[in-house]
Structure 1
Amino acid sequence: MTTAVATIGFTKTSAENFFARLRKAGVKRVVDVRLHNTSQLAGFAKADDLAYFLKTINGMDYVPEPLLAPTEELMKFFKTEKGDWDVFARDFSALMKERKIEKALKPALLDGACLLCSEATAHRCHRRLVVEYLNEKWGGTLSVAHL
């Protein structure tokens, strides 16, 4: 059985485009994988506002999932100190393994879901690492679309 999951970032896009992409993809729930989801810099994607907008505009649920967020130290290394992506990816993968996210979460949570982070693309974003890790641990059952 295949589990359809998407990923999306909210930066470098308008609210109109963001909500339209989610709707077009048939997303049922947005799973927030950000470490800091209440920052004023998040604009329309600030946690409480986003939950309201998702429900009101698209009829979607909002689920914060801090288990899928990097630690403060990892984010500081990569963002503030401009650390190497490969080192970040290795250390974040080790963190997911340590947290045993594949056992803590069930594929049903991700079925029809979209993982949310701030990065405009999934190329160098931890949301891609999350779905790749889970897909490996769950035997390739995830069908992933990066919106």
Structure 2
Amino acid sequence: MTVNMATIGFTKTNASGFFERIRSSGIKKVVDVRLHNTSQLAGFAKADDLAYFLKEICGVQYVHQPLLAPTDDILKAYKKDKGDWGVYEGKFLGLMADRKIENRLKPEMFDETCLLCSEPTPHQCHRRLVCEYLNTKWGGSLNVKHL
């Protein structure tokens, strides 16, 4: 089974650009993979507001899934302390392995789903790492598009 999914970041974009990318992608659900979903980085991205906007503008369900987020310690070491991406990546991959996310989730849960995080691009963002990790564990069943 091939699962079509996407990822998106909300910083360095405005609300119209963000919601239009979601709407035109054909996804049915946004899974917020931020640890803290009340960010002030973009006013439209706070949990309650985001759930409302996604439903009303795009007809899309919103789910917060902190199981797919780094811990506060991992985040702080990278963001606040300006840590090395390679160290962050290694720690986060280890965290996903420790959590055994591939056993707690199923590929079909991600069909027509978009993982949301704050980073504008997937290159140095944990949403990409989640997709790559799960794709390795699930035999390449995820077809991922970065919006």
Give, as a single letter, the amino acid of the residue that structure 2 aligns with 1:26: G
Q: 1:105 and 1:81 mapped to 2: Cα distance?
A: 32
Letter in 2 for 1:134: L
Alignment partner of 1:108 is 2:108: yes
> Structure 1 regions of 5+ residues with no counterpart?
none
* 1:64 matched to 2:64: yes
Alpha-carbon RMSD across the aligned residues, in angstroms, is 0.7
Amino acid paired to 2:29: R
Which AA in structure 1 matches 2:66?
Answer: P
Q: Is 1:98 aligned to residue 98 of structure 2?
A: yes
Which residue number in structure 2 is paired with residue 29 of structure 1? Answer: 29
Q: Which runs of 5+ in 2 are unaligned?
A: none
Do structure 1's residue 13 and structure 2's residue 13 form an aligned pair? Answer: yes
Consecutive aligned runs of 4 or more in structure 1 exceeding 2 Å deviation: 39-42
Structure 2 contact 6–144 (Cα < 8 Å) conserved: yes
Residue 51 of structure 1 aligns with an amino acid whose one-letter code is: A
| Superposed CA offset, 1:65-103 (max 9, x none) | 000000000000110011010110011000000000001
Contact 2:37-2:46 at 8 Å conserved across structures:
yes
What residue identity is the alignment partner of 2:14? Answer: S
TM-superposed CA distance for 1:53, in Å, is 0.3
Superposition deviation, residue 42 in structure 1: 3.6
Q: Deviations over 1:75-133 (max 9, x none)?
A: 00110011010110011000000000001111122100000000000000000000000
Partner of 2:52: 52
SS at 1:75's partner residue?
Answer: helix
The amino acid across from 2:100 in the alignment is K
CA drift of 1:12 comes to: 0.3
TM-score normalized with structure 2 length: 0.98
CA distance in 2: counterparts of 1:42 and 1:104, whole angstroms: 31
Q: Does the 8 Å contact 2:11/2:41 carry over to 1?
A: no
